[in-house]
Amino acid sequence: MGSLSKTFTSSVGRKFVMGLTGLFLISFLIVHVSINALIFLNDGGQTFNVAADFMGHNLIVRIMEIGLFAGIILHIVQAIVLTAQNKAARPATYAYSNASANSTWYSRSMGLLGTLILMFLILHLYHFWWPTKAAVFNHEEHDTFQNITMVFQELWVVIVYVLGVISLGYHLLHGFQSAFQTMGWNHKKWTPIVKAIGFWFSIIVPIIFALMPISIYLGWIS
């Protein structure tokens, strides 16, 4: 094996991939949440649909979309490998452990939170990504906004979405600053700022995401 490929199978290397893909996915979230926020213009989804249409047809965006999926898959595969390695590193577990004394529950539950997010993601893709793709493929017009307002009429869907973004919030709460730590980007002056940004990012972004289904369900937006 070459030195570079060995890099990415080492403990630090795998974490590097996790961190890098994590940060990449965070950057996607910024785009996603910005477009979502357009519905709050309350213009009957006009601006939102323009943006959605652009995202669905623009070539560069579509290439990036492949990158996005690759990123998600890489993030998941690495997570599975790391989890397996970490489990193997402690074959006999403690009879009694007081882990809450030294770490937060969500930092220890990234795998669980990630799994919840993945399950949510599958539903989410089924709801929105697939119809868009199908429309593009069939050269049909697709009204994303209308699709949204339809999907979020069901209470259970809204609840699942809210739970999904809560999982995302906790995942980010640990993941955001953790990615910087893993990449080795720490600094006496800058790290506190990164942590503060990460904290507010993990709260604000999921709230905006959650507001969409809630406001549609409650009819604040039509």
Partner 1 sequence: MNLTLKVWRQKNSKSTGNLVDYKVSDISPDMSFLEMFDVLNEQLINKGEEPIVFDHDCREGICGMCSMYINGRPHGPKDLVTTCQLHMRSFKDGDTIVVEPWRAKAFPVIKDLAVDRSAFDRVIAAGGFISVNTGNAQDANNLPIAKSKADAAFEAAACIGCGACVAACKNASAMLFVSAKVSQFSLLPQGQPERYKRVQNMVAQMDSEGFGNCTNTGACEAECPKGISLENIARMNRDYLTAKLFSEEEA
Give the residues lining the site for partner 1 (CB under 8 A).
3-4, 7, 10-16, 82, 85-86, 88-99, 101-104, 107-108, 110, 174, 177-178, 180-186
Task: Report in angstroms how near the CB of residue 23 gets to partner 1 at its nearest.
Answer: 14
Task: Report in angstroms how near the CB of residue 45 gets to partner 1 at its nearest.
Answer: 40
Closest to partner 1 by CB, 177 vs 202, is: 177
Closest to partner 1 by CB, 33 vs 194, is: 194
Closest to partner 1 by CB, 66 vs 101, is: 101
Pair 106, 130: CB distance under 8 Å: no
What is the distance between the alpha carbons of residues 151 and 138, in angstroms, rounded to a whole number?
A: 21
Task: Report in angstroms how near the CB of residue 59 gets to partner 1 at its nearest.
Answer: 30
Angle between helices 11-37 and 59-88 (to 10 degrees): 140
3-class DSSP string for 8-23? HHCHHHHHHHHHHHHH
Task: Report in angstroms how near the CB of residue 143 gets to partner 1 at its nearest.
Answer: 42
Backbone CA torsion sign across 153, 43, 46, 40: negative
For the chain, the maximum distance between any two Cα atoms, rounded to a whole number of angstroms, is 60
Closest to partner 1 by CB, 91 vs 219, is: 91
Two structure tokens written together for 9: 């199978």
